[in-house]
Every structure is written in structure tokens, then in C-alpha cells.
Structure 1
Amino acid sequence: MEPTESPPDYYFSDKETEDVRSCIRSEPATYKTLFPVLYMLIFILSLFGNGAVIFTVWRTQGKLRVALVYIGNLAFADLTFVSFLPLLAVYTSLGYHWPFGWFLCKISSYVVVFNMYASVFLLTSMTCDRYIAIVHPLSSLQVRTRNCMYASLAAVWTLSGLLALPLLVFQTTRHLNNRTMCALDFRLAGSSEHLQGLWSAGISLSLLVLSFLLPFLIMMVCYGLIVCTLFSHFNIRRKMHQRKRRLFKIIISLVVVFATCSIPIHTLRSAIAFSNLGLFPFTCAFQRFLMLAYPYATCLAYANSCLNPFLYAFLDLNFRSQCLRLLHLKKSRQIPTKVTRELNQL
């Protein structure tokens, strides 16, 4: 069966029925202009935000703090994650026609998923690092060493590269109606529809569990324990209530932004996976909904990469001040040590 016009992360399959093949799958005309503009806006914001973070970490003199090394790696992962957004913008503006060839189709999809995993794993590692520093400050001296940090970074990048390998195998181009599409083709795994569905569901559900559910659970537990520790700390001192509220708002914003950017895309991918497992029919209505909703979910997923520099780097007062000085936007001055010590751990 020939592929049909689909969202960029969708795939070629033999599973669809004649009714679904006859569906009208064209998007609103505004999609071809709206989403390319949004993709380029996200790319530019991420380029400047993450670029400023990488520049600051690179120019930092002396021994880098553990948190700063994590922030630099996160910025690099986020910047690489959006590096192929201009290609996606062109792909969308041409009505999902891929003019860039087979190699870029494979490598761009692999790099995007690779760095998506790396970004989420780095956020989780930073959360665990903050948890250890705040909740277990004494034992953190033995755990938060440079050797442990480098070992965790090596594990993050290696695991991310391995988890993204299926994209390198199954992502390919196909020609249809004078149009070249770039999408997953599970027919490479075999001619069996059941086998194709299993591969599709396996990749989608592994993305759901490993890049959202498990990291989100770890973040919720760690930040919950951090909040309890902070409230206990401030209650004992009976002062700095305004600072306590600010720290609490920062933690809530981190969790809410991560969930808001991640839930839509993983919900749609999971729905596709469950459909391929036969848990509900792959109907014409579902196909139309997928065509309309997927670009919005994709935008939100990419938007997280341009928000991370502000949420995880510039909320660090010491880092923010250093970044502004390097960009010649602020005179050199010292941040009050008591405030810095507590906010830097967040």
C-alpha cells in the first residue's frame, strides 16, 4: 500500500482500511504558513537562549560547578534538538513534501529523538542533583563529585543514542503523488501487519515511558521532597516567607511547563500505538483529528527547548548575573551569598 499525506512523525503502514484511505487528509490552508512561522520562532528563541547559556558556560573561568556543567549539557541538547526545525518548517510549508533527500530524513529524525531523550534525562539528573544537595546536604559531599557527574553524563548521552537507534533504521522517504514524504516505515520489519503494529506500539510506548512518565514521576517525587524540606527549613527559622513562596512557585513552574509541553505529543503517539495494537479502531475521524492536532503538539514539544534556558539557567541568580556580564549588559557585582546559596540549589 502506498503512503498517504500525514504529519511528519507519522508512518507508512498497511494497516489502514479503505474507509480511512478515502478520508480527506488535507490540513487547513493556514497550517502551511502558521506552523512554519512558529517552528522558526521556536528555533530563533532556542538559538539565542541556549546559545547564551553555552557561551556563558564556555567563558566561565575556574572550576565549573556541577549544576553549571549540567546546565551546559542541557543547553547543548536543546539546541541540537531544534537544529533541524528549519527543515521541518520547509517540509510543512510544502504540504509535507521532503526535498532534502534520504540521508537528511534519517539523520534529522535520529538527532531529534537522540537529543529529546538527552534533554529529558539531563532534566531528571539535575532534579536528582538538587534533591541530593537540599534534602541530604551532608551525604551530597560524597555523591556530588566530578567523577559521579561525568559518569552520569556519559550514561545519559550513551543511553539516549541507543534508544534513538530505531529511528535510524525505520525512518525513510517514500514517493506519492509527486510528493516525497519522510516518515517511519515499519514495513522494513516485515510484511506482517501485526509485526508492524508491534514495532509501532513499542517505539511509541517506549517514548511515553522513558521520555515522560518515568522522568516526570522522578521529578514529582524529588521536587515534592524538596518542597517539604524547604517548608520545614523556613518554618524553623520563622522568616523569609516571601522567599519560600518564590521557591515554591519556581518548582511548580518547572513541573507544569514540562508536563504541558510533553503531554499532548505523548498522548497522540500513545493513541496511535493503541490503535495499531487493535485497542480501538483506526477510523476516519481519528485520522482527521490526528492531522489537525499533531502540529500543535509538535510545536509544544519543541517549545520546551526554548523555555529550558529561562527555567533552569536564568533562575540561577549567580549564573544569570554572570551571563549578563559576559554579554556586557550588566556591571560586575556580587550576588548576596545567602540568596545565591539557596536559589542555586534550585
Structure 2
Amino acid sequence: MNITLHSPLASNWKVESVIIALVFSAIFLVGTVGNCLVLAVLLRNGQMNTKTTNMFILNLGVADLCFIVFCVPLQATIYTMDEWVFGPFVCKAVHFIIYLTMYASIFTLAAVSLDRYFAIRYPLRSREMRTPRNALTSICLVWGLSLIFSGPYLSYYQQMDLDGTIVCIPVWDFQHRRAMDVCTFVFGYLIPVLILSVTYARTIRYLWTTVDPIKDMSESRKAKRKVTKMIIIVAVLFCLCWLPHHLVILSMWFGYFPLNHTTYVLRILSHLVAYTNSCLNPIVYALVSKHFRKGFQKVFSCTLRKQVVNRVHVVQHAHTVSLVEAASSEVSNHSEGAARERMWRKNSKRVAGTFMTFNVT
């Protein structure tokens, strides 16, 4: 869509570009800080080798952080700059990482839904299966499948020169692009969502309809409910945030989606909603999980304590330096006084000797 610089639409679009840049900046800031806090809490609590759910949450945080750091800033420039300025390699890599992290996130959510189902439905029999080693194997499988499904996007986009303007656009033909986008929707959204729906439906039904015969297990059961509630919220948010993105693409291929200003804004909004998902998970953890709230507070308290300790060390060092300087000046003054006294005594003896010599002669 060509827009002249002197038209009212162009000036409005500049305002929209500023708003988009601010929204992307907020997503980047909140997502980076939040996911770094999640990783810090999980790595500091010493439970990564014993709890499989924490390993999956850590993997989800890594995927979200990679998406935030490597994709969001570059995607922001697509909507705020007139042309692509990062070169052909980044053009291919950024879209590959977008879909790689998307697949890794949804596959991780599917894996953790199965993990929660077995932990709640078969708590004793699943202990042999729900081990850190098997969880690590599942995470490797998640990234392996993500690489397979996102690999074609390395050739899907390419840097091109269109009438003197450098752009990063899809270069596949119509049929291959449509087949690729449909496969992405089916394997990267539809099938995982079905897995999430079935497993969590059965999990919720079991949690809220069965009665635990052992009274001592009630606290453990409450803890499992809280963890499951948190993971369900995370999964629902992912499905809702990425749904507009897939609907827009399917509408482009199978519906009426003309290329104009309105549809372009809708596509930008669908991208913003999808990208926002990567910074929502830490907020969910903080609101739902008391464990994460305490972990966040510890991280903040440790950071503040280190800053205070560093300031105290600086003040103490400065105070020590001033004391040393004062002591050294005092010692030097004492030395000068002693030297003067020795010189006075020596001169006195010399004068007395001279006077005695004078008298003898």
C-alpha cells in the first residue's frame, strides 16, 4: 500500500508508528525483566533436579525470553521503518526464531499438561515416569520437533529490492505458502490445543469430582490444584493470544481479506497480541503462585542488599582512606617534630662545644 507523505493518512500513520514502537518497547521491557526473574527464581531454589514441572516452566521461560530478545525489537522496526536494514541473514533468521519459539512454547505447554495429568490422576504409578531425566528428554524432543517444523521458514522469507526499497518478504509461490501456513496452524496450534483441552478437562474433572480418602494428602492435593490452575491459565492465555494471528492468516488464504489500511492495522494488532503472550507468564506466576511471589521478593531483596553492601563498602573504603591519610599526616608531623628536636639538640651541643672551646682558648 503506497501512502504519499503529504496526505493526512500518512501523518496518522506516523502517529500509529510511534504508538506501535512504544507498545513493542513495553513488551520488550516487561518480557525481559519478567522472564529473567522467572529463570532466576527457578535456578536459585535448588529444585530443578527434583520437580519436573519446574523444568518445563524453565524451558517455557527460555523460549519466551529468546522470542522477546531476538524477535520483538526487529519486528518493531518492520512497522516503524520504511525498509529492511538488517541484511538477508537476519531476514531469514528472525522469522525462523519466531516460529521456533512459538512451536517450543506450545509443545512445552502440551508436555506439561500431560505431566500434570499423570501427576494428579496417577500420583504413585507416575513417579517412575515423571523423573528429571525423562523431563529433560521431553524438553529435547520439544526443541527437536520445533526445529523440524520451523526449519522451512529459513527459506520462506528473503530480502528483496522492490523499486529501490529493501524489504523482507515471503518468496515462496502461492501454493507452497498456503500449504506452509496451514501446516503451521494445524501442527503449531490446533493439535496442541486439542491435547491441552483433553488433558486439562480430564484433570479438572478428576480434581473436583473425586474425594481423597487419605486426610493427610489434602495439603499435597491443594498444592497440586494450585500448580495445575497456574499452568491452565498460562495455556489458555497462549491459545487466546495466538488465535488472532492464525485467524488473520487463514482469512488471507480462505476468506475475504483485502489489502488496505484497516486490514493492515488488524494484522499489526494480531501480532502485538501474540507477542504480548511472552511477557504475561511471569505475571501469572506472581499472581497465582505464592512460591514465585516469595522467589521474586528474594531476588529483589538480594539485589537491593548487594547494592547497599556495595555502597557501604565504598563509604568504608573512603573512610578508611581518610583515616590512613590522617594517620600518615600525623606520623609525618610527629617525625618532623622529632627531627627538629634532634637538630635543636645537635645545634645546642655544637654551640655549647664552641662556647667551651672559646673559653679554653
TM-score calculated relative to the size of structure 1: 0.74
TM alignment of 1:248-259, pairs within 5 A = 253-259=233-239
Give the Cα–Cα distance (whole angstroms) in 2 for the partners of residues 315 and 286 of structure 1. 42
Q: Which residue of 2 aligns with 1:212?
A: 189
What corresponds to 2:58 in structure 1? 72
Residues 268 and 296 of structure 1: CA distance in aligned 2, closer, same or farther (over 3 Å): same
In the other structure, the counterpart of 1:160 is 146
Secondary structure class of the residue paired with 1:273: helix
1:109 matched residue in structure 2 = 95
The alpha-carbon deviation at position 28 of structure 1 amounts to 3.5
Deviation string 1:52-102 (CA, Å, 9 cap, x unpaired) is: 11122232336342111111111010011122211222231114x111111
Cα deviation digits, residues 272-324 of structure 1 (max 9, x gap): 233xxxxx567xx3555431210000001111110122335763332432332
Question: Which residue number in structure 1 is paired with residue 297 of structure 2?
Answer: 324
CA deviation after TM superposition for structure 1 residue 156, in Å? 0.4
Residue identity in the other structure for 2:245: I
Q: Rate the CA distance shift 1:112–1:245 in 2: closer, same or farther, 3 A.
A: closer
Q: Deviations over 1:130-166 (max 9, x none)?
A: 1111122122112201221111111101111121111
Q: Which residue of structure 1 lines up, in the alignment, with residue 331 of structure 2? A: none
CA contact (8 A) 1:105 1:182 kept: yes
Aligned to 2:125: 139
Matched with 2:24 is 39
**1:167–1:184: 8 Å Cα contact kept in structure 2?**
no
Amino acid at match of 1:198: Q
Cα distance, 1:41 vs structure 2: 0.8
Q: How many pairs are equivalent?
A: 292
Rounded Cα–Cα distance in structure 1 between residues aligned with 2:287 and 2:131? 24
Whether the 8 Å contact between 1:27 and 1:292 is mirrored in structure 2 is no
Return the alpha-carbon distance in structure 2 between the equivalents of residues 46 and 182 of structure 1.
Answer: 25
Specify the alignment match of 2:105 in structure 1: 119
Query: In 1, Cα distance between the equivalents of 2:292 and 2:125?
Result: 25
Name the amino acid aligned to 1:70: F
Query: SS of 1:107's equivalent?
Result: helix
Alpha-carbon contact 2:230-2:289 (below 8 Å) kept: no
Deviation at 1:45, TM superposition (A): 0.7
Evaluate the alpha carbon distance shift between residue 25 and residue 172 of structure 1 in structure 2; reply closer, same or farther with a 3 A threshold.
farther
Q: Which has the higher helix share?
A: 2
Query: Within 2, Cα distance between the matches of 1:117 and 1:166?
Result: 13
Equivalent residue, structure 1, for 2:346? none
In 2, Cα distance between equivalents of 1:142 and 1:244: 18
Please say if residues 226 and 288 of structure 2, whose CA atoms lie closer than 8 Å, have aligned partners that are also in contact.
Answer: no
- State how far apart, in whole Å, the 2-side matches of 1:324 and 1:25 are: 46
Measured in 2, the distance between the counterparts of 1:253 and 1:170 equals 33
Q: In structure 2, how many angstroms separate the alpha carbons of the residues matched to 1:169 and 1:28?
A: 31
Determine if the alignment matches structure 1 residue 224 to structure 2 residue 197: no
Deviation string 1:23-54 (CA, Å, 9 cap, x unpaired) is x9998443211111111111111101101111
State the alpha-carbon separation in 2 of the partners of residues 244 and 77 from structure 1: 24
The reply on whether 1:305 has 2:278 as its aligned counterpart is: yes
Aligned to 1:10: none
Match of 2:97, SS state, is helix
Greater Rg over alpha carbons, structure: 2
CA distance in 1, matches of 2:189, 2:156: 22
The structure 1 residue matched to 2:15, chosen from 17, 26, 30, is 30
Rounded to whole Å, the distance in 1 between the matches of 2:149 and 2:10 is 31
Q: Equivalent residue of 2:288, what SS?
A: coil
Matched, 1:171 2:157: yes
Cα contact 1:33–1:93 (8 A) shared by 2:
yes
- SS in structure 2 opposite 1:302? helix
- Distance in 1 separating the partners of 2:110 and 2:286: 15
Structure 1: which 5+ residue stretches go unaligned?
7-23, 187-195, 275-279, 331-346
Distance in 1, matches of 2:233 and 2:146, equals 26
Q: Which residue of 2 aligns with 1:264?
A: 244
Root mean square deviation, CA, Å? 3.2
**What is the match of residue 84 of structure 2?**
98
Q: Deviation string for 1:104-132 (max 9, x for gaps)?
A: 11111111111111111111111111111
Q: Distance in 1 between matches of 2:223 and 2:211?
A: 9
